Structure 1
Amino acid sequence: MYDSKLTAHFAAFYPLGKPFISALSKVLTYKQFSKGDILRQNGQTPMIWYIEHGLAKGYYQDQEGNERVTRFWKEDQVMLLTGGNQYQTAADSIMLLEDSRITTLSDSSVLYLYHTFAEAAKLSNKIILNDRNYSEIKSFLCSLPTRHGYEQFQQLFPSERLLLQDIASYLETTPGRISVIRRNPE
């Protein structure tokens, strides 16, 4: 049995009993994705994805057909894809930006864990709260002057692994403005 980083990640949110950890370990699936692979929200897509290794972006196409980056995920983060009205995914599509190793749980496994173990409900709430808090980073960074927003971005994300145009889209500015900031650090 492969010992996933996901169990340690979940345990950091809420104390997990040995029976829960054992059941979780049995239902995890591991997938290898290539750079450029896309995850979309649909009936066949699991709702929880954990990035063990790699990098991803969430995005959508605006009315003019321009790509708008809404989110980045890196190693040791959970991506949630939900179909309910209460929680929406951060993007229409998620693209893997590097070859990535992902751990996931099927929807039926999530339901099994949720209905079988008492800690699953509290863990679920903590994961959703963490995801919501993480999604609010974009609003904060975009509210700052561009130079300061980019400086904060570099502290939070692996900017050296991201395309300039994706960073600019996320920060709601132009690639040219980010280039100027990179060339002329204060």
Structure 2
Amino acid sequence: MRTNSIHQYLCCTLSVNEPALSLILSQKAKRVNYDKNEIIDQKGKIPLQLSFIEKGNAIALSHSKPNRQVMRFWKANQLICPTGFFNNQPSPQSIIALDNCEIMVLSYLDILTFLAEFPTGYTIINSILKAEINLVEMNIRSFEQNKMPRQHEAFLEALAISFNE
């Protein structure tokens, strides 16, 4: 069982100082495989899971062709915290596997159950949220500095990214 990668992410990357709790939370994760172009989270639906990418890459797109916008990229050893997950709102973007992905998922129910059992686990959730806010801010700055939608479109075409909304 490779849930240690989530545990390492929580302890090392997020500097969560609750190793026992992060291990318990990581053990609740379930492995899901996604094929290239498969939708991990669909635009307009309430996201039901946090996804930790163990192998592969993912992309967030505003919508399918035409005029799609790249919202974000994820690679192995990164956590996908979809917009709308924590506030139970429909997602404004679709998250798609760029290649075959191995992902460990934590459902909303898994997290609620964990927090009911271990109220001090909110420190882990707060760390996830803080990291996500920082990454979103960095992503916004990156897009402000790098306004090249044509190059993004060429990139998506080269990867043969397509999905049905």
1:131 and 2:107 are equivalent in the alignment = no
> 2:7 maps to what in 1?
7
Q: Distance in 2 between matches of 1:61 and 1:21?
A: 34
Q: Distance in 2 between matches of 1:138 and 1:22?
A: 29
TM-score by length of 2: 0.75
Give the C-alpha shift of residue 111 in structure 1: 0.4
C-alpha contact (below 8 Å) 1:46/1:104 kept by paired residues? no
> 1:141 maps to what in 2?
142
> 2:41 maps to what in 1?
40
TM-score by length of 1: 0.67
Give the C-alpha shift of residue 113 in structure 1: 1.1
The letter of the residue matching 2:78 is: Q
Q: Distance in 2 between matches of 1:123 and 1:84?
A: 13
* Runs (5+) with no aligned partner, structure 1: 150-170, 180-186
Per residue, is there more helix in 1 or in 2?
A: 1
After superposition, give the CA deviation of every residue in 1:137-157 in whole Å (9 maximum; x if it has no partner): 23212333xxxx4xxxxxxxx
Of 68-77 and 9-18, the range deviating more from structure 2: 9-18
* Runs (5+) with no aligned partner, structure 2: 156-165
Tell me how large the CA RMSD over aligned residues is. Answer: 2.9
Q: Distance in 1 between matches of 2:143 and 2:29?
A: 36
Of 50-59 and 128-137, the range deviating more from structure 2: 128-137
> 2:55 maps to what in 1?
53
Q: Distance in 1 between matches of 2:123 and 2:133?
A: 15
> 2:150 maps to what in 1?
174
Give the C-alpha shift of residue 127 in structure 1: 0.6
Q: Distance in 1 between matches of 2:86 and 2:119?
A: 22
After superposition, give the CA deviation of every residue in 1:25-52 in whole Å (9 maximum; x if it has no partner): 4421001111111122535x53210011
Q: Distance in 2 between matches of 1:130 and 1:26?
A: 21
Q: Distance in 1 between matches of 2:23 and 2:54?
A: 19
The letter of the residue matching 1:24 is: L
C-alpha contact (below 8 Å) 2:54/2:101 kept by paired residues? yes
Q: Distance in 1 between matches of 2:124 and 2:86?
A: 18
Q: Is the radius of gyration larger for structure 1 or structure 2?
A: 1
